[in-house]
Structure formats: C-alpha cells, structure tokens
Amino acid sequence: MRARYVDAGRAKQLEALGIQRVGDLLHHAPHRYLDLTSTAQLGVVQPGEATVVGTVYEVVKRITRGRGGKRLTITEVTLVDGTGTLIGVWFNQPWVEATYKKGQTLAFSGDIKYRSGLKQIIQPFVEKIADEATNAPSQQDASNTEGRHMGKVLPVHGTTEGLSVGWLRRLVAAALDDYAQVSEYLPASIVQERELAPYSWALRNLHFPAHLEGAQLARKRLAYGELLDLQLLIARRRYRMTREAVGHAHKPFGSLHQSLVEKLPFALTEDQNQAVNEILDDMASQHPMQRLLLGDVGTGKTVVAAHALTVAADSGGQATMMAPTEVLAQQYANKLGPLFDDMGLSWGLLTGSTTPADREVLLQQLAAGEIKILFGTHALLEDDVQFQQMTLAVVDEQHRFGVQQRKSLHAKGESADVLVMSATPIPRTLTLTAFGDLAASYLRQRPIAGAGITTKKIKFSKIADAYDAIHAAVNEGRQAYIVCALVEESSKIEAQSAVQMMEELAAGEFSNCKVEVLTGRMKPAEKAQIMNQFRAGKIDILVSTTVIEVGVDVHNATVMMVLDADRYGLAQLHQLRGRVGRGKHSGEVWLVSDSFSEAAKERFAALLETDDGFRLAELDLKQRGAGELLGTRQSGIAKLKVADLTKDEDLIEAARQDAFALIADDPKLEADECALLRVRIDALEDKYETWKVAG
Ligand code: ADP
Ligand code: MG
C-alpha cells in the first residue's frame, strides 16, 4: 500500500489480508453487513437473524461450572430501548466485560433466541453506534458524531490482529473517494446481456451500499468480473493449445486398436464408449488433445486409456502412461502388459526401482522406437529418458505432479496429445475453473457393480467389533486393510504409527494372521513386493498409511479399518473405502475415531449417507476450500476475492460461456469494445505465468 494511506506497520498488517495495492483494498469484500436502515425495536423483534440497536443497561460477568465441571466465564451485555430488552451472551471471553460500558449505544447482529423468556443473541456481532470516540483506534474518530451510523448499511470487513473493523472501514472509504471513478472495462454487450452493475458503482456499493440489495448487485458484478478474467485466461490458453498449436493427427481404428477391442473380455460400458470416442476425436485432430477423464476408482479408466495407447502406436508414435506412485504404475503394467504382449505391442515399465542395467536397455529400446508404450512414475521424467517420437501422454492423478514435472513430461514429445485421468471426484465448479482448460469426459457407471460396502463409524472403545470383522473375513479367506495416519511417532500429532501398530497387532490381536506394513517411506521396490504379495493373497492384513489411497485394486480385500478417521478429508476417506467391496464380495469399512469436532461429524454423516463421489466432493470443497484439490492448479483461482467457488456456480457458467464466445470470435480481443479488457487480460497473463505452461 502507498505511504499516502498507511505507514509501514499498517502496510504489513494489510498484507496479511492479501492487500498490497489500492485495487486489492477495493476488492476486499465485506464478509457481512450490518443493516441499520431499519432496526426493529427490542420489544417487537422476533427470533431469527436480525440487527437491533439499544443502550447498554448493564454488563455482568459470572463464573460457573459448565459441562464436565469445567470453569465457564459468562459475560452478559443487556440492551434496552424503552420497548424491551435483549441480552448479548459471550462464553469464555472475559475481555468483553471491559469493552462495553453502561450508557453506550450498541448495535447487535446475530441470531435472536428466547431463553427463559428473555431475548438473547449468543456472541452477537457488535458495532458501537455512539460513544465510539472513547475507544478510538485513530485520530480520525474525533469527527465521529452520535449515531452517525444509523440509517446506513455498515460493511464488516475481514481484519487481522491489530486492525480494527472501524479503521479498515475508514481506509476503504478514503480509497474509494480517490479511486473508485474507474472506467468500465467490460464490453457493453456483456454488461447489458448479464444485467451487470457498472464497475465504479459496484466498487462503492460493495462497501457502502444504500441497502442490502445494492451490496448483492455489487457483489455479483465484481464476482462476475473476476470469473471472466479467469475464464478468458483459460479460454485463450485452450485456444492456443487446441486451435493454434499443431500436433499429431492420429489414426484411430488401426490394427492394434482393433486387436485390443477383440481381445478385451468384455464390451465397454456406454460411458466408456463415449469417453473413448471423445478421446479418439481429439487424437485424430491435428491439434493437441487436452482432455480430462474423470471417474471414481473402478469405473474403468485404465481400459479407456488403453484404447488411446493403441491408437498412438497404430499411428507410428509412442505413448507413455504416468502414475503418481510406483504401486499404481506397477498395477498398470500388470493389467495391460499381458494384453499388450498378446497383441504383439511392445511395452516397458520405468520406475525408481528399475535396476540400472534394465534401465539402460529400456532407454535404448525407447530411443530406437522399439518400445511403443512406457508405463512409469516420475522416474520417466529424467532427462536421459528419450523417446523416438512420443505422441501421447496419459497422466494419472495429475494434481499430484508439480508444474515443473508437467513441463518435463510435455517436453518429451512435440505437441503430444495429453490425457489427464483422475479418480478424485472434482466438483463441477472446479472442473470449470481449475481444470477449465481441459475438455472433460466422465465415467459415472461402474462396469462391475460390486457387492457394495457398508460404512460404520465407531469409537476406539468399540474397536473389538472391527477386529472381529477382520477375523471373520480372514477366516473366510478374505483380506483386510488397516489404515493409520503417520509413519513415525510425531510429538505434534498423536496419530497411530503404522509400524508400531503392525508390530503390536502382529504379536497380539492378529498373531494367527500374516500381517505386513506398507508406508510411504518404504523403498519403491519394497512397496511393490508387499503389494504383489497382498495381491497374491499371501498377506492377510495390510497395515498401511494412505499410499493405498489411489487406484489399488485387490478384489479379495473386503474389510477396511481406518484409525483416527477424523484426520482425513472427505474425498480421501471416500477414495480409501473404494478399495473394498468392488468385487463379488461385499465390503465393510470401519471408521474409528473419538473426535467430537463438528466438521468430522459432518464428514462421517455424509459418508454413511451416500456413495456418490461427486456429492461428497462438493461437500469437501465447502468444508476445506479448494486448496487441497487443486495442488499446482491454484494460480489465478487463489486470487479470487469476491467470487466463491462453493456458491457461484451460475456465475462461473455465465463467465465461462461469455469468455469462450469472445475468444472464439476474436482470439486476440481486437474488437473496439474489448480494448480495455485486452490490456487487463494481457497483464494478468504475464502475472500468472503458469497459464502459459502447457499440460
Ligand atoms: P479404474 O482405472 O478407473 O480404477 P479399471 O480400469 O482398473 O478402473 O477397471 C476396474 C475393473 O473393471 C478392472 O478389473 C477392469 O478389468 C474392469 N472393467 C473395466 N471396464 C469393464 C467393462 N466394460 N466391463 C467389465 N469389466 C470392466
Ligand atoms: Mg491429436
């Protein structure tokens, strides 16, 4: 922030709020408003959300014993207005007592409830209406006059330690006076069609609306603006990748492809067929494919990818299929390798545990074009891994790879077609934004319905029930997973240690079973060996960290116990439990947790209620925000200040439609009405370099 407004100390505090320039400040949307345009009298106001104004009659602090005999401080501030009274109640916030004084005029905002015949609000949001000057955060308050807030809608901005709501509000007001006369940069046609408020009006009304509807309209305009920026970046990038860039025009329906279709022991599902068609259309085009294949574990993505791999080989190219873990890469090789051998299609597997000798031979064959398909992990990104001509890259769970890794993969082939697969259900709003530069294909049905799963949530005191279920399964020749959170004891988080757990269980409860451990810290070769043994049924119980999370597919494993289940996100728990019950034996999942947190309870309730990965993903997004799901695809999205990915689906759709239409007509935004927009988008593109990165 400019020194003109704030000193260095304040600037630092503002930075903590993501505010570095005046523009950031103007887009710092209030998280709530205090509507003082028409406040109800205390005697008349009804229970529910409301804002009321009154004079402080008394401030009382009491100490009592709460649940479990714990000391509880209760502070009560009673407001009166001649028609009635209302009490604000705070728990364990003793500072409240010194903050408010008899005689002050306060506005309370919150949820009014009746308790013992009295109206009260638990922890209301409070605004001092009169007598504010005695608590002045700065000199400017001297100008305050009694009741100057009345009849207004007051913005409540998010603040940080040391910054008062009042100070920030005045700063915003000053900045608005100087800067809000900005020109409209949106094309007039869009403003008209979407019925958007003018830019400068919106900036003012976001903060100081005359009424709440004004704030809504302002928010809509600014959120749309942010989303249009983002969608224009996406649309441009997609235009460059799929219209301007020239890659390989693959030829579908060649002999290897036909041979695959004949050798597969089943027909594709409708979803799979559609996905294959979409992929083959993209591959046949001379422009590079940029496509996302979305489907829960077990929906048959591997088989769909296999079609693409054979088409690449048929067209004289090479293809690679990259997984985030060695276990998964190995699994591809196990599934598709024998099929490809049978078809006479040469393939290789390159991971961190490939021996140097094997690796050398592999690299030679790869460079000579003798190996057509290469499965692997990020080990295949190393510089000396050279293809003769790589024309297709399939990347699984791409968000687990960094930008740099994606760049390296892309550099292996010239304008190669890219197919990104994900078993992580992605909410629609993220598909349209974070993954918005990829066309999406969906697999919603499972080809093998599976016997299904039941999910149960128990406390640690009931863990014997889960043990019994594991014993019962093992006795019937089935297998089980025990999932625990950390590999080594951590003093910070008292989670179960997989290794210690394994030793205890192997020696005690499950001494009659074969128990092994799989952790993220083990060497890849060790992991692969354990997984192979588990797959072969030589291990009864696999104690594991979340390395089994993605993709592992062992139909004979039917029971899963997740310890400290509250430590996992919803999407993660859903993925974990997807490991069982997919075959002909039904699965049981035991979530063990002693947590009482509301968020954890909500997650468990959702998991017990639905098996729909997309619905769970929406909830996960609401609970945890976009960060976890996005990985390296955050840039641009993290910058959204007004728009909200959990709420603005309609606006996202609108902005996307408009942006793609604009770019399709006028890729460089050369039309007169786009002049200001073009400058803006060019600058943003320079700022978020990643949007220029391919793949
Ligand atoms: P994903 O990669 O999406 O987790 P897979 O491709 O591994 O799923 O498929 C899961 C299982 O379903 C595999 O055993 C696979 O052979 C089988 N499968 C895939 N497609 C079909 C189909 N159309 N009909 C019957 N079985 C199928
Ligand atoms: Mg192509």
User: What are the tens digits of pLDDT across the range 290-307?
Assistant: 899 998 877 899 999 999
State mean pLDDT over 533-539.
92
pLDDT in tens, 210-231: 999 999 999 999 999 999 999 9
User: Which ligand is the nearest neighbour of the Cα of 331?
Assistant: 1
DSSP result, 302-362 = HHHHHHHHHHHHHTT-EEEEE-SSHHHHHHHHHHHHHHHHHHT--EEEE-TTS-HHHHHHH
Helix (H, G, I), strand (E, B) or coil at 440: strand
The pair of structure tokens assigned to 654 is 């609108």
- How would you class 344 by CB atoms within 10 Å of its CB: exposed for 0-12, middle for 13-18, buried for 19 or more? exposed
User: Whose CA is closest to 606, among 585, 586, 577?
Assistant: 577
Report phi then psi at 67, rounded to 5. -60, 140
Q: Is the CB of 558 under 6 A from ligand 1?
A: no
Q: Is the pLDDT of residue 45 over 90?
A: yes
557 and 478 Cβ atoms separated by less than 8 Å: yes
Q: Which residue has the higher pLDDT, 285 or 528?
A: 285
Ramachandran quadrant class, 528 (left: phi over 0; alpha: psi -120 to 50; beta: rest): alpha
430 and 650 Cβ atoms separated by less than 8 Å: no
Ligand 1 atom closest to Cα of residue 304: 6
Q: Is the pLDDT of residue 548 over 60?
A: no
The pair of structure tokens assigned to 319 is 């293809």
Count how many residues are written for the chain: 695
Instruction: Compute the distance from residue 15 Cα to the ligand 1 centre, in Å.
Output: 50
Helix (H, G, I), strand (E, B) or coil at 125: strand
Q: Which residue has the higher pLDDT, 228 or 486?
A: 228
Is the CA virtual torsion 458, 459, 462, 467 positive or negative? Answer: positive
291 and 282 Cβ atoms separated by less than 8 Å: yes
User: Whose CA is closest to 229, among 640, 667, 653, 629?
Assistant: 640
Q: Is the CB of 424 under 6 A from ligand 1?
A: no
Ligand 1 atom closest to Cα of residue 302: 6
User: Which ligand is the nearest neighbour of the Cα of 250?
Assistant: 2
b/e sequence 635-660, b meaning 16+ C-beta within 10 Å: bbbebbbbbbbeebeebbebbbebbb
Tell me what pLDDT residue 143 has.
40
**How far is residue 393's CA from residue 414's CA, in Å, rounded to a whole number?**
11
Q: 71: how many CB neighbours lie within 10 A of its CB?
A: 9
Q: Is the pLDDT of residue 86 over 90?
A: yes
Q: In the Cβ-directed half-sphere of 552, how many Cα atoms lie within 13 Å? A: 25
Tell me what pLDDT residue 375 has.
97
Tell me what pLDDT residue 337 has.
96
Q: Is the CB of 602 under 6 A from ligand 1?
A: no
Q: Whose CA is nearest to atom 11 of ligand 1?
A: 298
623 and 603 Cβ atoms separated by less than 8 Å: yes
Most confident option among 141-150, 495-504, 561-570? 561-570
Q: Whose CA is nearest to atom 23 of ligand 1?
A: 268
DSSP classification of residue 183: P
24 and 172 Cβ atoms separated by less than 8 Å: no
**How far is residue 249's CA from residue 286's CA, in Å, rounded to a whole number?**
4
Q: Is the CB of 273 under 6 A from ligand 1?
A: no
**How far is residue 82's CA from residue 663's CA, in Å, rounded to a whole number?**
62
Q: Is the pLDDT of residue 312 over 90?
A: yes
Contact residues for 490 (Cβ-Cβ < 8 A; gap 6+) = none
Helix (H), strand (E) at residue 527: helix 524-535
Q: Whose CA is nearest to atom 25 of ligand 1?
A: 447
Q: Is the CB of 288 under 6 A from ligand 1?
A: no
Tell me what pLDDT residue 147 has.
59
- Ligand 1: which of 269, 276, 302, 339 to mutate, most ligand atoms within 8 Å of CB? 302
User: Whose CA is closest to 529, among 326, 276, 370?
Assistant: 326
The pair of structure tokens assigned to 324 is 């985030």
Tell me what pLDDT residue 494 has.
39
Q: pLDDT class for 135, splitting at 50, 70, 90?
A: very low
Q: Which residues surround ligand 2, an ion (CB under 5 A)?
A: 283, 285, 417
Q: pLDDT class for 244, splitting at 50, 70, 90?
A: confident
Q: 551: how many CB neighbours lie within 10 A of its CB?
A: 24
**How far is residue 658's CA from residue 665's CA, in Å, rounded to a whole number?**
11
Tell me what pLDDT residue 1 has.
56
Most confident option among 217-231, 495-509, 514-528? 217-231
Residue with tokens 């005046």: 22
Q: Is the pLDDT of residue 653 over 60?
A: yes
Q: Which residue has the higher pLDDT, 503 or 345?
A: 345
Q: Is the CB of 301 under 6 A from ligand 1?
A: yes
User: Which ligand is the nearest neighbour of the Cα of 335?
Assistant: 1
User: Which ligand is the nearest neighbour of the Cα of 300?
Assistant: 1
- Ligand 1: which of 309, 330, 448, 576 to mutate, most ligand atoms within 8 Å of CB? 448
The pair of structure tokens assigned to 442 is 């969906």
pLDDT in tens, 353-410: 899 999 999 999 999 999 999 999 989 999 999 999 999 999 987 766 666 777 788 7
Q: Is the pLDDT of residue 138 over 60?
A: no
- The 3-state secondary structure of 592-641, one letter per residue: ECCCCCHHHHHHHHHHHHCCCHHHHHHHHHHHHCCHHHHHHHCCCCCCCC
Alpha helices in 493-609 (DSSP H): 498-507, 524-535, 570-577, 598-609
pLDDT in tens, 429-457: 888 887 888 889 999 888 877 778 899 99
Helix (H), strand (E) at residue 394: strand 390-396
Q: Whose CA is nearest to atom 6 of ligand 1?
A: 300
Q: Is the CB of 575 under 6 A from ligand 1?
A: no
Q: 475: how many CB neighbours lie within 10 A of its CB?
A: 11
Q: Is the CB of 187 under 6 A from ligand 1?
A: no
pLDDT in tens, 602-623: 889 988 888 878 788 888 777 7
Q: Is the CB of 613 under 6 A from ligand 1?
A: no
Instruction: Compute the distance from residue 590 Cα to the ligand 1 centre, in Å.
Output: 25
Ligand 1 atom closest to Cα of residue 301: 3
Instruction: Compute the distance from residue 312 Cα to the ligand 1 centre, in Å.
Output: 21
Tell me what pLDDT residue 43 has.
92
Between β-strands 318-322 and 390-396, what pairing exists: parallel, antiparallel or unpaired?
parallel
Q: Is the CB of 450 under 6 A from ligand 1?
A: no
DSSP result, 74-96 = EEEEEEE-SS-EEEEEEES-TTH
Q: What is the mean pLDDT of the chain?
A: 86
Instruction: Compute the distance from residue 282 Cα to the ligand 2 centre, in Å.
Output: 5
Q: Rounded to two decimals, what is the model's pTM?
A: 0.73
Q: Is the CB of 551 under 6 A from ligand 1?
A: yes
Angle between helices 326-343 and 301-314 (to 10 degrees): 50
Ligand 1 atom closest to Cα of residue 266: 24
State mean pLDDT over 556-577.
87
Instruction: Compute the distance from residue 269 Cα to the ligand 1 centre, in Å.
Output: 10
**How far is residue 75's CA from residue 91's CA, in Å, rounded to a whole number?**
7
Residue with tokens 């401080």: 73
